[in-house]
Structure 1
Amino acid sequence: MTNAQTSRSLPQGFIPVMLTPFLESGAVDFEGLKMLTEMYLEAGSAGLFANCLSSEMFELSESERLEVTQTVVDQVAGRVPVVATGTLGGSVEQQADFVKRIYNTGIDAVIVITGLLAEEQDPEEVFETNVKKLLALTEEIPLGFYECPVPYKRLIDSKLLGELVQTRRIVYHKDTCLDIGEVVNRIKATEGFRFGLYDAYIVNATASLRAGAAGLSCIQGNIYPELVVWICNHYNDASRTAEADRLQAFFNDSMDIVHTAYPVIAKYCLQKRGFPISLYTRREVDALTEEVKDRADKLLAEADQLRSELGIDSVFKSSFAVPLK
């Protein structure tokens, strides 16, 4: 079982955790999803992470998870790699079965939720045993890890991550440890293999990239993707150090508001920037109050100013009259 691009490493850069657009009826807006896919690509994304927590994966049905992922794969049409979550609960055997099913949509790697391969109280040995069982049950399918905060956050020991990468089956890791020292340990433990660590914690963006991270997979890219792409491209540019530092300070200062009422706030920000997306969500989140909207508006104004200073064209300059597959 081989997909077109599994022989190569996932690329350096920004791999956004994709939103799922919904109609006001609550149904998935598949035409909107195609346009959203184009938006991420136009912003310069190196790959796409479909069917993730930002996609409201736990609120989608099994068939919707497959159809959402298939829609993204078909729209991308091989332009960049696509990964998607393939373990959403059940026994290891059940998770392995869905890994195979979602891989057959044509994605480049299937992402494994670390908190679903062992109970929170289980020791590391249980997690390790179940990971190796999943590997054995899923043939040669490329996999990745996501330290998702739901149902609980299980962090992978760097030594174990290094051992698993040596199987040559693990190609992606969405890192949520929040600890730059541990990020460095993980990068060192996995050197020399077809593998990339993508940090979700934008506070550590430049530090992680300079330490050797392959890129970023952060929710901020659902509000100002151009700025996340810029930092991935210029973090080590000596002539733009001051600009990179200023952008990093902006990322740090905006952490709180970006996480407020998420993912509704991200959809609100996309609306304000001219993208046609409903605010509908299936998740229970904090209210998008007028105060929150005001803070989001100020965030967008500052992001606009930064884009102007950095000479970045807004991805929303077009009307999104894109050719849909």
Structure 2
Amino acid sequence: MPARIQGVLTAIVTPFDAAGAVCPDRLRRQVRRQMQFGNGIFCNGTNGEFFVLNTEEKLRVTQTCVDEAAGKVPVVAHIGENSTATTIRLGQDVAAMGVDAVSVITPSFVPLRQHELIYHYTAIADAVPVPVFLYNIPARTGNTIEPATAAALARHPNIVGIKDSAGSYESLKGFLDAVRDIPDFDVLSGPDHLAHQGFLEGCSACISGLANVCPEGVSLIWKHFRDGDVAKSKAAQDFISGLRKDLYAVCFAPAAVKKATALLGEDVGDSRYPILFSEQDLATIREVVAKYGNVPAF
């Protein structure tokens, strides 16, 4: 078995230049910024705008992250596509770049039954030569991986865990309970407000969009928990939960994250999809950045 992935992986934004093209140099800076705090990298995810990247761009993003991380922190690449065959092709190309693992979102648009999801993920895990994480985010795809399905897939030797981004404690707990007795299968928490609770209940890692905005604050949730200081971990979580509440009130969460990252002075460009920020939106995000720009000494 490969080394277990633990701690914080940042769902890293994909920087674009003024012309809207992927900018590897700016992405390298963001990878280094996360590595300063020990955060791993989760690339081509929702915060990375995978849904508006073409295949060549996804490969360029992945290669850039792998090269810059240089084995110092784990890199997990999201490869989920709407067809099984396309996901496999992308996964094989990404695996050749040296990622530590891949993550696969459920297909969207077509409503799938649980046995169809089992077929889809089994075929991918059979064909892709690096560890596979399931990725549950039903609000975006319309398809839900049920806990019993995750438990069934956990028996596959190349399926090593699940990222749950359903958004609720109940969903996260359902997966933790379903696989608690299955060795070498990890649950990763997706919602930033559940990172601390997830660690308390057995999650090995969290995938954080807000680490783009506050890499130190999110890292402290894990570091204090790892070191046995649950109170300080909870204090860091409360800080990040406040950031989440204030920032996500503006608009679609990944768009708000990228704009806040840009307003911190990080040259990540604009989101590709049609998000329009009013002057009030920008004023609110500036206030949030000012409020949470300095991490207290937890």
Is TM-score (shorter-chain normalized) higher than 0.5? yes
Of the three residues 3, 8, 17, the one matched with 2:3 is 8
Question: What residue number does 2:188 align with?
Answer: 198
1:275 maps to which of 262, 266, 273: 266
Q: 1:304 to 1:87 in 2, by over 3 A?
A: closer
Aligned to 1:55: 48
Distance (Å, rounded) in 2 between the aligned partners of 1:52 and 1:245? 22
How many residues in Structure 1 have an aligned counterpart in Structure 2?
295
The alpha carbon displacement at 1:31 in A equals: 0.7
Q: Which moved more, 1:211-220 or 1:20-29?
A: 211-220
Pairs within 5 Å for 1:95-106:
95-106=87-98
Partner deviation per Cα, 1:272-322 (whole Å, 9 max, x = no partner):
3232332x222122x2222112211221222135x1343xxxxxxxxxxxx
Larger Cα Rg: Structure 1 or Structure 2?
1
CA distance, structure 2, for counterparts of residue 93 and residue 245 of structure 1: 39
1:115 to 107, 119, 128: 107
Q: Does 1:228 align with 2:218?
A: yes
Counterparts of residues 147-226 of structure 1 (less than 5 Å):
147-148=136-137, 152-191=141-180, 192-226=182-216
How far did 1:180 drift? 1.7
Match of 1:318 in 2: none
- Code of the aligned partner of 2:151: G
1-side partners of 2:233 and 2:74: how far apart?
30
TM-score (norm. length: structure 1): 0.81
Q: Is the 8 A contact 1:168 1:194 kept in 2?
A: no
Q: Which residue of 1 aligns with 2:29?
A: 35
Tell me, in whole angstroms, the C-alpha distance in 1 between the residues paired with 2:129 and 2:238.
43
Runs of 5+ consecutive residues of structure 2 not aligned to the other structure: none
Structure 1 contact 85–110 (Cα < 8 Å) conserved: yes
Cα offsets for 1:117-158 (capped at 9, x unmatched): x822x321222222223333x154311122245862422111
Indicate if the aligned counterparts of 1:50 and 1:84 stay in contact, CA closer than 8 A. Answer: yes
Query: Amino acid of the residue matched to residue 146 of structure 2?
Result: D
Q: Give CA-to-partner distance per residue, 1:37-86, whole Å, 9 cap, x none.
A: 101111320x2111112112121121111111011101111111111122
CA deviation after TM superposition for structure 1 residue 241, in Å: 6.8
